[in-house]
Structures are given as C-alpha cells and as structure tokens.
Amino acid sequence: MSLMLAALLQTAAAPSPSETPARLLAPPTQAQVMAAWPQRALVEHRSGKAVLKCRITEAGTAEDCGVVSEAPKGYGFGAAAISVAKVLKFQPAQGPEGPHDSLLDVPVAFGAPDPDPGLPRWVERPSGDDVVQVYPEAAIRAGVSGRVVMKCAVDQTGALRDCAIVSESPAGYGFGAAALELAQKFAMTPMPDAGPGRATITIPIQFEADPVGVNTTYAIRRPIWVEAPTFADVDAARPKTPSAASADGRVLLRCFLHPANEIGGCRILQEAPPRAGFGAAALRLVSRFRLAPLDPSTIHGVSAVVDLDIRFPDPASPAWIHRQIGQPLWVAAPSQQDAIALFPAKARAKGIREGTGVADCVVAPGGGLSDCRPLRATPPDLGFAEAAVEVVSGMRMSAWSALDTPVDGARLEVPVRFVLPDETPKPAGQGAAPSGP
C-alpha cells in the first residue's frame, strides 16, 4: 500500500463556481515520510493513518493542525501526520477576492512503500532495549525525550555506512551521537549488484522518557564488579560438548540489577559458536557476579540493566595461559596522602621530592593484588620501588576484565608516582601565630 495524502475541503455546501478549493501541490517524498514515521511503529513494522484538520493559509502552508483521529492509537501517527503536513505545499483556496485561508480535513496514511527493486528492505532494526542502551545519561537524568533523523548509505551487504545526522532535537543532550551508535543495529537486504552509495535511507529515531520524567530503564555502561567468577569457575562451567572442546566461546547477556547489587533475569543476546552450550554455561556463572554499589540517585525509580560479556577461552590458548587484564578498572586506589606518607626516607634525605616506583603483582580472586615485589624505580636505589609495593597492597580492581574474562592469576605491573607537596617558606607575617606582648 503506497503512502497516500489527500486533502478535501471541509464544507457542508458545494463550492460556488467562483470558489476554487485548496489542493496539495505535490505528495510528500519518502524522506519526508520516513523522517516523521514513529520509531515504535518502525520497529514493530506497523502501518497507520491519521486524519488532521488544518488551516491552509493563503501562502499555501498547513497551520494549526489538530488530530481528528488516528489508528492504531498509541504509536504517534497523529503527531507524525502533523509533521508531514507542515512540510507540504498546498494551492490555497481561491475566492472572488483572491486566495484566502480555509479549513481542510487532511487524511495521512503511513503504509509500506511500493516495492522498488533498486531499494533494499529492512531485515533488522534496533529494539527498544537497544535504544535504552545508548540513551544519553544527561537526558536520562533530566527526563528529556529526543528525536533524531539520520541519513545513511546502504552498501552491498545491506549494512548502513557513512551515516550523518540530519536533525537532532533537543540539541546538547547527545541524542545525535546515540543515534549513530544505533546505526550498526540496522540491516537491509543485501545489494550485491549495487555500487557503493547507490541507495540512501533516512531514518527517524525517537528517544522517549517516561511520563514522570525519568527513563524507565537505566543502562549501566561501565560496570565495575566486586565479585566475579575465577578462571577455575569458568573452566568448571565450560560446556563439555565436542563442538566446544577447543572453541573460543563468547556470550553476551543482558541482565537486570537485583537487590544487594546482584544480577538476574538474564537473557542471551549473542552466543558464538551457536549450539555448543556456551549460552547455558554463561547463565550458570551469573550468580557469581556482584556489582559495585551505584549512586542511588542514578537508579531511583527505574529498572537497571547491564550487558555482560563472558568469554570462554580455549584452555590451550595464550588468552588462558598468559592471562591479561587490558585496562584495569580500579575499585580501590591509594590517595595522594597515602603516597606522601610512604615517600622513601632515603629520597627525602637526599632532597629528592619526586620519583616513580613500579610493583609487580599477581591479581587475586576478587581483584585484589598479592605476591607484590619491587620491580624498578626512577630514580633508582632510593626506595621508590619498595614504597610502591606498600602503596599497592590495598588496591583492588574490577573482578571481571575488560577482555571479558576473569582477572585472577594475571601478572600486572603497577606504577606509583610519588610527589612531595611544595614546602616553599611563606613570607614573614603570613600564616604565623600572633606573638605575645
């Protein structure tokens, strides 16, 4: 069913011969329709229609449009139809004295476009959960909804490329950047015979805050884990199927935050290789994860979700044997005062006020550091490496690596910079206690 937009003059009597009713000069383009199409309706493959009552001005624009009816309700087709009407041009009504304003009923139908062999069709769109995952944090806190229209090229595989933001409202909250993150969630039918950039598509994306002004789901973007499975736990959970014997398995879960910062209600978003048992293995490990406490104001009144990557390296692979951390996410780190208190006495005695020591440590289960030893220092032989060992003894990192694996057993070099505060003497009379008579 093609998109249809018709305007009928709203009048009880037939126009006089000297009266010419208003009419639409040109139908809306596909880009104009797509720019207004409600996001939820796009995701759910919904068509819809609405009837508007608009004032067509003598300049040929639609003003003061109101929704007379819309179907199905709850998808925003009425508001979308108003957006379409505002960009259209009409031939105004003509009377004996020239053009004048008139009221019209304007039916707007949003249906599937006519098949076009040169234009690919949607095979995948982001879900509501995908939108939640990229919803800008500033907008979540402010309870602000947003809308973005972006234009993308469609390549031979059906993927979107070279996306650019056409419009973003309101500006300053990051909705445009969030929409660009969603581009990878769209896919269209492949175009193997098409040259690059042959097809372009305009995509509207709606970000909806809930009625009380806070998005109903908060996505935890950089989770810090105070408890997580060890390599032994991962090995015990690893599926024993033949297809998993030497495979490097990977599972992406989406979980809800439960009381006591535990997670549950997880569902499998991705599993590779498929049908090898890694998804079920990952779900068996969920009870061993616990998040660091979150700011209560961040998650007050909302459901919090976290995406959890779990990797099952082949036990014979370097990823398992030579365990790595990547970029540690520190849960507990020393303060500047801790470093000052442990500044080496030998360096102080020589007038050295700055140095760096490096401790070599093994990461313990839970993300703490153990078996630390002095490794090197600058300047050398003044105690900075030994002092670094003392400083790092209380440090603790996220118990799950950014590489989607446990952290226990990995060796880590931890540098500590020592700087004494400036002790430049103050001029006489400043900061001294008042003297007696």
* 185 SS3 class: helix
Alpha-helix runs per DSSP H in 238-344: 278-285, 296-299, 318-321, 336-341
If you write DSSP's letter for every residue of 42-70 in order, what string do you get? Answer: HHTT--EEEEEEEEE-TTS-EEEEEEEEE
Whether the per-residue pLDDT at 278 is higher than 90: the answer is yes
Give the tens place of pLDDT for each residue, 417-433: 999 987 655 455 444 33
Are 199 and 282 in a shared domain? no
- What the block records as the tokens of 321 is 């044997």
pLDDT at 238: 93
Q: Are residues 236 and 303 in the same domain?
A: yes
Please check whether residue 424 lies inside any domain of the structure. Answer: no
Q: Which residue has the higher pLDDT, 62 or 434?
A: 62
Structural domain boundaries, residue 132: 122-213
The token pair at 143 is 């309870």
One domain, residues 305 and 390: no
Q: Are residues 272 and 288 in the same domain?
A: yes
**pLDDT-based confidence at residue 129 (cuts at 50, 70, 90):** low
pLDDT at 203 (0 to 100): 82
Q: What pLDDT, in 10s, does the model give residues 19-54? A: 788 888 888 776 677 767 776 676 566 788 899 888
Query: Is residue 16's pLDDT more than 80?
Result: no
Quote the mean pLDDT of the chain.
80
- 58 vs 41, higher pLDDT: 58
Residue of higher predicted confidence among 1 and 409: 409
More confident position, 414 or 141: 414
Residues 279 and 337 in one domain: no
Q: Is the pLDDT of residue 61 over 70?
A: yes
Query: Considering the domain boundaries, does residue 43 fall inside one?
Result: yes
237, 280: one domain: yes
Confirm whether 434 is domain-assigned. Answer: no
- The answer to whether the beta carbons of residues 166 and 130 sit under 8 Å apart is no
For 288-314, the pLDDT digits (tens) are 999 988 876 666 556 688 889 999 988
Using pLDDT thresholds of 50, 70 and 90, give the confidence band for residue 146: confident
Residue 116 lies in a domain: no
The listed range with the strongest mean pLDDT (27-36, 121-130, 349-358) is 349-358
Q: What CATH number does the domain containing 374 carry? A: 3.30.2420.10
Q: Is residue 117 part of a domain?
A: no
128 vs 398, more confident: 398
Interval 200-236: pLDDT, tens: 777 878 777 643 333 456 778 788 999 999 999 999 9
The domain tally of the chain equals 4
Ranges 25-39, 166-180, 270-284: which has the least confidence? 25-39
Is 437 a residue whose pLDDT tops 60?
no
> Which of 65, 82, 110 is the last residue in one of the domains?
110
Tell me, yes or no, whether 404 lies in a domain.
yes
Smallest Cα–Cα separation from 320: which of 328, 312, 309, 308? 312
